[in-house]
A and B are shown apart, each in its own frame.
Chain A
Amino acid sequence: DTEVTQTPKHLVMGMTNKKSLKCEQHMGHRAMYWYKQKAKKPPELMFVYSYEKLSINESVPSRFSPECPNSSLLNLHLHALQPEDSALYLCASSPGTGSPLHFGNGTRLTVT
């Protein structure tokens, strides 16, 4: 079982809704990541936080807004999403940005 916990497991939202995805780890890792994974595709890097500061934004549309309230928590705020944003959203953490990633089970997001 994974030590990176993501909630909710599933989320269905309309295009006008605002929702948030949550990720938590208690391994003392200082880097946290959001990935997007479409069916039969690899994880696609979205954001990287290092020591609670945003270090990488892979030109993600502003309708996705990350937040790292503390070293254990990572949120992804969603607003005005499009149906093509439907995907599995994966959170990962690592001791540092060059270290192996520990993944959560993901949140399956459907935008209607």
Chain B
Amino acid sequence: AQSVSQHNHHVILSEAASLELGCNYSYGGTVNLFWYVQYPGQHLQLLLKYFSGDPLVKGIKGFEAEFIKSKFSFNLRKPSVQWSDTAEYFCAVNMRFGAGTRLTVKP
């Protein structure tokens, strides 16, 4: 059975701090990996995706993620967060979502 685990439920950071959100998955078949973001009052949007190839993928707004096959992980990173990054972040494997991580960035 597929499962997607996000380690952090709520992360609070100050502006300019670095961010890493964890995502691990369990799935026996082909995986397409995604990070989606839901800003307050807005629809879910794609941040980045991984299908194959270079395990380090870059997305919008300075986000990147690294696929580590041996660890079944796809962690999201950003070197320096901004107040506008305050949102809910969801890792997804194929069409199934993890529990989400709420990120609050203090100005």
| Chain A interfacial positions (CB closer than 8 Å to B) | 2, 4, 33, 41-45, 48, 90, 92, 97-106
A100, closest chain B residue (CB): B46
Q: Which of A2, A100, A103 has the most CB of B within 10 A?
A: A100
| Chain B interfacial positions (CB closer than 8 Å to A) | 30, 32, 34, 36, 42-46, 49, 51, 90, 92, 94-100
Contact of B100 among A4, A33, A42, A90 (CB under 8 A): A42
A94, closest chain B residue (CB): B95
Contact of A45 among B42, B44, B49, B96 (CB under 8 A): B96
CB-CB < 8 A to A103: which residues of B? 43-45
Q: How far is the CB of A90 from chain B (nearest CB, A)?
A: 7
* CB pair A43 B97 closer than 8 Å: yes
Contact of B95 among A97, A102, A105 (CB under 8 A): A97
Taken together as a complex, chains A and B put the C-alpha atoms of A92 and B99 apart, in Å, by 18
CB-CB < 8 A to B44: which residues of A? 43, 90, 92, 101, 103
Taken together as a complex, chains A and B put the C-alpha atoms of A92 and B45 apart, in Å, by 11
CB-CB < 8 A to A102: which residues of B? 46
* CB pair B95 A33 closer than 8 Å: yes
B30, closest chain A residue (CB): A98
Q: How far is the CB of B69 from chain A (nearest CB, A)?
A: 17
Between-chain CB contacts (< 8 Å), 21 pairs: A2-B43, A41-B100, A42-B97, A42-B98, A42-B99, A43-B44, A43-B97, A45-B96, A90-B43, A90-B44, A92-B44, A98-B32, A98-B51, A100-B34, A100-B46, A101-B36, A101-B92, A101-B95, A102-B46, A103-B44, A104-B43
Taken together as a complex, chains A and B put the C-alpha atoms of A78 and B22 apart, in Å, by 37
CB-CB < 8 A to A97: which residues of B? 94-95
Q: How far is the CB of B66 from chain A (nearest CB, A)?
A: 18
Taken together as a complex, chains A and B put the C-alpha atoms of A29 and B46 apart, in Å, by 16
CB-CB < 8 A to A42: which residues of B? 90, 97-100
CB-CB < 8 A to B32: which residues of A? 98-99
